[in-house]
Amino acid sequence: MDRFAAVERELRKAAPHLLLDVVTAALREQYGVKSVELRLADYGMTTLQVVSEAPLAEPVHIHDSPQGRAFGAQEPYVEPRATQGPVTAHLPVSVRGDRLGVLSVTAPESSCSPAGLAEMQQLCEALGHEILVAERDTDLYLLARRATRLTLAAEMQWQLLPGRSVARPEFSLGAHLEPAYAIFGDNFDWSVSAHHLTLTVTNGMGKGMEAALLTNLVVNALRNARRAGLDLPGQASLADQAVYAQHRGALHASVLLLRFDLATGEVEAVDAGSPRMWRLRGGDVAAVDFDAQLPLGMFEETEYVAEHFRVEPGDRLLIGSDGVYDSASAAGERYGERALARSLSAHRFLPSGQVPLAVLRDLRDYRGPAPLDDDALVACLDWFGRQSSTGDASTGDASA
């Protein structure tokens, strides 16, 4: 533990671009590691890109590589060997459920025992935290995540996001956007306090920069209202006024706002537009319908009303933008009519962080060769409930 604390101190003192050097030196000294490589997942979540000032290594695919196996399972993976000699192990780098990448080490077999891997995994967790802090001061890690150039609109949208996944004892949540390198109007945001999870999914009207600027205004207005202590209808109203003041009704944004009580599973919802939600409970998939209210910014001083429902331990919620459920097959059938429910059922055993990408892959297969003609956003939340002192999940007293 003293060794681990010493490395943490060195990471905190290191220049932002030298974090990997600190970890490499510690691994060589303490575990006899011969080589170290850090890879981060790209924006499309399809490849793992090497972190280097002048990257020479080729990307590796997440879905058919040893590194990808560790990234997907979020557990260390040791490559099989045909002969005696050093061992190559891959360790996931993540922060509070947000999967960042993989650290690969080649080390003596004695260093890659279960205990040794567990200790090295602790270093990976510390490294992940410092990478997120370092991104304020260097582009090194952001550059490593891109397999190709981002459009300006996409750059703006990705900088708005809180992460791609988050986990707490009461829930786990993941989300993804496509086309990852050219997204413009869709966005998601979340905030977790001691008592609540607030989740918003936004679909800005328009194309390109127009949509990106509109969504930036909406997300920041909602954050401003939330941080001012307004309730969910109040947050929607303030953002509505901000959009109307800027565009006078010429542009508007659709938003679904959700606020989960972490102790009881009670959910407050404001449906202001097009994002829609489905629930998987006990093997059955059903749409969760709300009273549709006006999108933000359509008219001056719109009043919003909250609705309520409850999630139960074991529930999975999936939220999709209209670029998902309105997308049509070659035969003209909308994806949200039947295929989305089949996809949600088919991937019920995947963790929530992997579901959005899996559903979007199914959407691409459903559409055939035609490219997406709109942004597509999928968010997936698994609800576990808060454990009581007896070990049972709390559901409160309200009915479902």
Given a cut of 90, whether residue 2 has pLDDT beyond it is no
With H, G, I as helix, E, B as strand and everything else as coil, classify residue 198: strand
pLDDT per residue as tens digits for the range 78-137: 999 878 889 999 999 999 999 999 999 999 999 999 999 999 999 999 999 999 999 999
Lowest mean pLDDT among 36-50, 52-66, 174-188, 241-255: 52-66
Note the pLDDT of residue 399.
37
pLDDT per residue as tens digits for the range 296-345: 999 998 999 999 999 999 999 999 999 999 998 888 899 998 999 999 99
Residue 218's CB is within 10 A of a number of other CB atoms, namely 30
Residue 387's CB is within 10 A of a number of other CB atoms, namely 13
Note the pLDDT of residue 82.
79
List every span in the chain annotated with CATH 3.60.40.10. Answer: 150-383
List every span in the chain annotated with CATH 3.30.450.40. Answer: 3-144
pLDDT per residue as tens digits for the range 196-236: 999 999 998 888 899 999 999 999 999 999 999 999 999 99
Q: How far apart are CA 50 and CA 60, in angstroms?
A: 9
pLDDT per residue as tens digits for the range 351-367: 999 999 999 999 999 98
Note the pLDDT of residue 398.
38
Among candidate residues 322, 160, 172, the one with its CA nearest the CA of residue 256: 322
- Averaged pLDDT of the chain: 93
Contact (Cβ atoms closer than 8 angstroms) between residue 98 and residue 165:
yes
Contact (Cβ atoms closer than 8 angstroms) between residue 171 and residue 181:
no
Contact (Cβ atoms closer than 8 angstroms) between residue 93 and residue 86:
no
Q: How far apart are CA 10 and CA 23, in angstroms?
A: 9
More confident residue, 373 or 30: 30
Q: Which fold has domain 150-383?
A: Phosphatase 2c; domain 1 (3.60.40)
Given a cut of 50, whether residue 74 has pLDDT beyond it is yes
CATH code, residues 3-144: 3.30.450.40
